[in-house]
């Protein structure tokens, strides 16, 4: 739903989509099977192969108990890992970086470069309990897809203006959006 809303809100040039959302267990599938054992054609949209996206948003499930997300900022060549518990999951980010490099290899005219910068921001909203991680991830992704956060700035967390205090309200709002099948204007 967030991807569809981003297309409604932002008028981008006709050359391609603004961002691509990955399926919920994309990162887990990549971890378990590796790049060579997944069907890239079913996981990758043609625009991704051309690196014409601004962002790729990837929800990440950690050990079946915690949700985080990766944001691939194509313009600034950043892989940003957003975790409401501020844990650096460098293994996940390394796999996403390897995935991007392998996609580059599939594109014959694109040189393979080690230009991805991994970024684990600490100035982001954090959770103070063990159960709100999913709401944090949905809200991080909401802010990114609405263009409220600029990771090229030295203080990207400034764009996130929510906190643990709003989680009960945000949880209800997300439930209502799912039930209505649409994203409400909220940020």
- Angle (CA) 119-50-41 rounded to 5° is 95
- What is the dotted CATH code of the domain comprising 2-180? 3.40.395.10
82 pLDDT exceeds 50? yes
Higher pLDDT, 11 or 28: 28
Q: Does residue 139 surpass a pLDDT of 90?
A: yes
pLDDT at residue 164 tops 80? yes
113 alpha carbon, distance to own chain's centre: 22
Q: pLDDT category, 95, cuts 50, 70, 90?
A: confident
SS3 118: strand
CA 71, 76, 78, 80 dihedral sign is: negative
Any idea which residue has 């940020």 for tokens?
A: 187
Q: Which two tokens stand for residue 50?
A: 């051309």
66 has pLDDT over 90: yes
* pLDDT at residue 11 in the model: 41
85 pLDDT band, cuts 50/70/90, is very high
Q: What are phi and psi of 30, to 5 degrees?
A: -65, -40
Residue 111 has a CB neighbour count (10 Å cut-off) of 7
Percent of the chain surpassing pLDDT 70: 64
Q: Which residue has the higher pLDDT, 105 or 129?
A: 129
**Hey, where are the domains in the chain?**
2-180
The secondary element (H helix, E strand) that includes residue 150 is: none
Residues sharing a CB contact under 8 Å with residue 35, sequence separation 6 or more, in sequence order: 98, 99, 102
Give the model's pLDDT for residue 46: 53
- Helical spans, DSSP H, in 50-132: 90-106
For residue 124, pLDDT beyond 90: yes
Q: Is the pLDDT score of 47 beyond 90?
A: no
Note the pLDDT of residue 32: 65
**Beta-carbon count within 10 A of 72 CB:** 26
Going by C-alpha positions, the residue among 35, 79, 44, 81 that lies closest to residue 62 is 81
pLDDT value for 10: 41
pLDDT higher than 80, residue 173: yes
């Amino acid at each position: 739903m967030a991807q569809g809303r981003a297309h409604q809100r932002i008028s981008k040039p006709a050359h391609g989509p603004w961002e691509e959302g990955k399926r919920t267990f994309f990162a887990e599938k990549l971890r378990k099977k590796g790049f060579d054992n997944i069907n890239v054609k079913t996981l990758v949209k043609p625009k991704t192969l051309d690196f014409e996206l601004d962002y790729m948003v990837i929800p990440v499930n950690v050990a079946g108990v915690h949700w985080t997300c990766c944001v691939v900022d194509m313009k600034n060549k950043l892989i940003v890992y957003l975790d409401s518990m501020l844990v650096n999951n460098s293994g996940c980010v390394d796999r996403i970086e390897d995935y991007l490099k392998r996609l580059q290899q599939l594109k014959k005219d694109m040189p393979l470069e080690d230009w991805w910068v991994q970024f684990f921001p600490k100035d982001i909203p954090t959770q103070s309990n063990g159960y709100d991680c999913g709401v944090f991830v949905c809200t991080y992704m909401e802010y990114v897809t609405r263009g409220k956060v600029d990771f090229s700035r030295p203080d990207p967390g400034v764009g996130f203006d929510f906190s643990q205090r709003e989680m009960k309200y945000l949880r209800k709002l997300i439930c209502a959006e799912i039930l209505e099948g649409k994203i409400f204007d909220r940020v």
